[in-house]
């Protein structure tokens, strides 16, 4: 752009110089007519007098025969163009004056007494001086135009380009500086309006995408909940049928086994066999009782519950079992943890299932350990807490109990199935696959949830999350 401007200004300077030369040419023609009279009078003298008044003025005489002879003792030869003018003046028999451009000399020829007197006046200005003047003029105008154009147009465009690149790099808050002449100011203002509209639409699009993802997640949870509810409904129907078809006969079998064990004439081997049969029968009754829990309508009575106290009592029940003598149990509680709105008996049953699973998994590791942590879940500040400073207590959205073990964790292909009824990764005869589904069902009845939040090579972590009690 600047080079184009320089070319335009240089062309304009040349055009102006041409117009000036044309004007000067008209003026020179008028002066030549006046100078011709003086030169004609001077040519009639034996020795021209104008030489002293006009420096570098040269005279020659051209006789009818022979070459040109200098007058006035200057000794310079006659140039070809002056000679041509002399020949032409002799042929026409009259005075001739011929001038060219300002850097060319003016030539004069007049016939006199059978010879031609020739004069050559010096040029008004040298060609180098005129060319330098044109170049200086073009340089001055170009420099002035470049500075003016850069300040008024180029610099605003460069700032606009930098702003556009910043927006392209992701900085949607970048704005162009609206200054300069009216045109660049309007361009910068329009660009800023476009940037604001783009930022607004981008924010709206990001919000829409976020809402869509949240809706997707909720739909996924809803679908998982419906699938789980369908499985639980199937288990409930199965439980009702099994309780009716198997429960009563199993009760009778256990009663007869108890009667037979009272016979004093039984051998020790027979009595041991009956004891094992009664244990297995009791195990079947336990499974039936768990199945019936799925088919019974929930009866929930909630009240403020100290989740840490319930976790401590439940942990004592697990720690007292001889099977878990090698497991190191640890419990931590947040001092400011709030109370949960729940049923303490159901919470204890949920935690018992989680702790038993964690202890069984920890026994599969080298250093069996189970940790329990009770804490509040911080969320957005409530309106009542906005007026408080840092000294005000933190606001919570929920209270949770995290149960983590040091076992091998849950395989990736099993993470989506751990809450399915009858799914268990324990050896046959050691698990029914109803503990976690039952814990999840009771947590949902209380308005909470049970989630598998971590499962890697150093253990698994299950979280019981419950709503807060008012006040």
- Tell whether 388 is covered by a domain: no
Q: Are 378 and 334 in contact (CB under 8 A)?
A: no
Residue 299, token pair as written in the block: 């009866």
Report the CATH number at residue 109.
Answer: 3.30.450
Largest CA distance in the chain: 184
Rounded to whole angstroms, how far apart are CA atoms 131 and 403? 95
Residues 417 and 324 in one domain: yes
Residues 229 and 312 in one domain: no
pLDDT for the residue numbered 390: 46
Report the CATH number at residue 260.
Answer: 1.10.287.130
Residues 290 and 371 in one domain: no
Residues 331 and 471 in one domain: yes
Domain boundary residue among 269, 296, 323? 296
pLDDT for the residue numbered 306: 92
pLDDT for the residue numbered 385: 46
For the beta carbon of residue 282, count every other beta carbon within 10 angstroms: 13
CA angle, residues 143, 147, 149, in degrees to nearest 5: 115
Residues 281 and 318 in one domain: no
- Tell whether 349 is covered by a domain: yes
- Tell whether 108 is covered by a domain: yes
Residues of the chain with pLDDT under 50: 27, 49, 380-391
- Tell whether 203 is covered by a domain: yes
Q: Tell me the DSSP string of 48-98.
A: -SHHHHSTT-EEEEEESSS--EEESS--PPPPHHHHHHHHHHHHHTS-EEE
Q: Which residues face 107 on adjacent strands? A: 98, 120
Q: Tell me the DSSP string of 349-374.
A: HHHHHHHHHHHHHHTTSSS-EEEEEE
Residues 320 and 287 in one domain: no
Residues 219 and 268 in one domain: yes
- Tell me the three state secondary structure of residue 399: strand
Residues 399 and 318 in one domain: yes
C-alpha closest to that of 402 among 367, 431, 376, 381: 376
* Range 42-50 contact pairs with CB under 8 angstroms and sequence separation of 24 or more: 42/119, 43/108, 43/110, 43/112, 43/117, 43/119, 44/112, 47/71, 47/72, 48/72, 48/119, 50/119
pLDDT for the residue numbered 387: 46
Residues 376 and 287 in one domain: no
- Helix (H) or strand (E) segment spanning residue 117: strand 115-121
Q: Which residues face 106 on adjacent strands? A: 121
- Tell whether 100 is covered by a domain: yes
Report the CATH number at residue 447.
Answer: 3.30.565.10
Residues 216 and 312 in one domain: no
- Tell whether 174 is covered by a domain: no
pLDDT for the residue numbered 453: 84
- Tell whether 341 is covered by a domain: yes
Residues 356 and 431 in one domain: yes
Domain boundary residue among 256, 280, 296? 296
- Tell whether 206 is covered by a domain: yes
Number of domains into which the chain is organized? 3
pTM of the model: 0.45
pLDDT for the residue numbered 42: 67
CA quadruple 338, 340, 344, 348: dihedral, nearest 10 = -80
* Residue range of the domain that includes 433: 301-381+394-471
Tell the residue number behind the tokens 């509810």, with chain if given: 229
Residues 236 and 212 in one domain: yes
Q: Are 468 and 398 in contact (CB under 8 A)?
A: yes
Rounded to whole angstroms, how far apart are CA atoms 329 and 308? 14
Domain boundary residue among 264, 296, 328? 296
- pLDDT tens digits for 126-151? 666 666 766 777 677 677 767 777 76
Q: Are 250 and 288 in contact (CB under 8 A)?
A: yes
Q: Which residues face 110 on adjacent strands? A: 117
Q: List the helix and strand counts (H, then E) for the chain.
A: 11, 12
pLDDT for the residue numbered 401: 94
């Amino acid at each position: 752009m600047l080079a184009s401007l320089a070319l335009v200004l240089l062309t304009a300077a040349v055009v102006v110089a041409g117009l000036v030369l044309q004007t000067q040419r008209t003026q020179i023609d008028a002066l030549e007519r006046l100078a011709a009279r003086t030169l004609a009078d001077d040519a009639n003298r034996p020795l021209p007098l104008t030489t002293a008044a006009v420096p570098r003025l040269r005279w020659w005489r051209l006789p009818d025969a022979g070459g040109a002879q200098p007058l006035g003792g200057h000794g310079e030869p006659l140039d070809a163009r002056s000679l041509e003018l002399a020949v032409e003046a002799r042929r026409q028999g009259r005075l001739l004056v011929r001038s060219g451009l300002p850097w060319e000399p003016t030539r004069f020829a007049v016939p006199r007494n059978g010879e031609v007197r020739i004069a050559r006046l010096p040029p008004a200005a040298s060609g180098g001086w005129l060319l330098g003047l044109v170049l200086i003029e073009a340089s001055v105008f170009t420099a002035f135009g470049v500075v003016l154009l850069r300040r008024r147009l180029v610099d605003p465009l460069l700032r606009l380009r930098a702003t556009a690149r910043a927006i392209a790099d992701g900085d949607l808050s970048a704005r162009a500086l609206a200054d300069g002449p009216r045109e660049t100011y309007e361009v910068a203002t329009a660009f800023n309006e476009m940037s604001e509209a783009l930022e607004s639409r981008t924010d709206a699009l990001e919000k829409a995408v976020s809402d869509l993802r949240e809706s997707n997640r909720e739909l996924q949870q809803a679908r998982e909940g419906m699938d789980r509810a369908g499985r639980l409904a199937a288990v409930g129907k199965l439980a009702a049928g099994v309780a009716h078809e198997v429960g009563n006969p199993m009760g009778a079998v256990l009663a007869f086994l108890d009667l037979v064990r009272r016979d004093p004439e039984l051998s020790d081997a027979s009595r041991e066999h009956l004891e094992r049969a009664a244990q297995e029968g009791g195990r079947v009754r336990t499974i039936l009782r768990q199945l019936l829990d799925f088919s019974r309508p929930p009866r929930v009575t909630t009240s403020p519950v100290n989740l840490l106290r319930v976790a401590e009592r439940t942990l004592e029940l697990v720690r007292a079992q001889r099977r878990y003598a090698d497991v190191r149990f640890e419990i931590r509680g947040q001092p400011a943890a709030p109370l949960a709105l729940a049923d303490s008996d159901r919470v204890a049953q949920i935690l018992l299932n989680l702790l038993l699973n964690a202890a069984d998994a920890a026994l599969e590791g080298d250093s069996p350990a189970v940790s329990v942590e009770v804490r509040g879940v911080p969320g957005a500040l409530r309106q009542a807490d906005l007026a408080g400073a840092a000294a005000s207590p933190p606001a919570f959205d929920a209270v949770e109990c995290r149960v983590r073990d040091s076992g091998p964790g849950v395989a990736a292909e099993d993470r989506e199935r751990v809450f399915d009824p009858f799914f268990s990764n324990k050896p046959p005869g050691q698990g029914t696959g109803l503990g976690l589904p039952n814990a999840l069902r009771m947590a949902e009845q209380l308005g909470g949830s049970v989630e598998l939040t971590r499962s890697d090579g150093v253990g698994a972590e299950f979280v019981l999350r419950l709503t807060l009690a008012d006040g």
